[in-house]
Amino acid sequence: MTADEARRIVADVPDPEIPVVTIAELGILRDVRIEAGTVVVTITPTYSGCPAMDAIRAEIRARLDEHGVADVDVRTVLSPAWTTDWLTDEARRKLSAYGIAPPAPRAAGSPLLQLGVCCPQCGSFDTRERSRFGSTACQSQYVCRSCLEPFDHFKAH
């Protein structure tokens, strides 16, 4: 098996908490290579305590195993630190369709400045932050002032 073939197999592993997007689209999948017959898959966590990492590791192994690849090494790297700048345009589109406002481009300086969050239900920018912490580490809670719907926002990070 080539590295490209292995990459195609693992790239579609869904995020366990937001299953509409894949680990490749989220930027969690950093590298796939073959080292002396072993498929080496390198992933990076979105947040230090992201509880999805164990499930992602298991799913990577399971998918490669289905293709007859038993010699697998899943490595976790912290550096360079994951950022929402790595989300693909496809991931942003899928998140929005799923009801999660995708991250705006990061403001220079503080990660706390979140600019122009757009309501995924009605498209209004007249939204307000309800809590900086949400149902997963990577999300915050918003409410739309136009359609009054609450929604999750994928924090720019």
Partner 1 sequence: MTMDAVETYAVRLGDDALVLSQRLAWWASRAPELEEDLALTNIALDLLGQARALLGRAGDEDELAFLRSEREYRNVLLVEQPNGDFAQTIVRQLLFSTFQLARYEALVDAADEVIAGVAAKAVKEVAYHRDHARRWTLRLGDGTDESHARMTAALERLWPYTHELFEGDDVDREAGVDPATLYDGWRADVAETLTAATLDVPADGWRPTGGRQGRHTEALGLLLAEMQSLHRAHPGATW
| Binding piece for partner 1, criterion CB under 8 A, among 3-11, 56-64, 72-80, 115-123 | 72-80
Q: What is the DSSP letter of 14?
A: B
| Residues 125/117, Cβ–Cβ less than 8 Å | yes
Which among 14-22, 23-31, 77-85, 91-99 is the span making contact with partner 1, rule CB under 8 A?
Answer: 77-85
Q: Is residue 112 part of the contact set for partner 1 (CB under 8 A)?
A: yes
Would you count residue 8 as binding partner 1 (CB under 8 A)? no
Q: Does 45 bind partner 1 (CB under 8 A)?
A: yes
Task: Calculate the dihedral angle through the C-alpha atoms of 120, 123, 124, 125, rounding to the nearest 10 degrees.
Answer: 70
Asked whether position 150 contacts partner 1 by CB under 8 A, the answer is no
Evaluate the CA torsion angle 57, 58, 59, 60 in order and state its sign.
positive
| The binder of partner 1 chosen from 81, 97, 107, 115 (CB under 8 A) | 81
Cis peptide before 80 (omega within 30 of 0): yes
The distance of closest approach from Cβ of residue 152 to partner 1 in the complex, given in angstroms and rounded to an integer, is: 11
Shortest spacing between CB 133 and partner 1, in angstroms: 4
Tell whether residue 105 is a contact of partner 1 (CB under 8 A). no
Spatial separation of the C-alpha atoms in residues 20 and 90, rounded to whole Å: 11
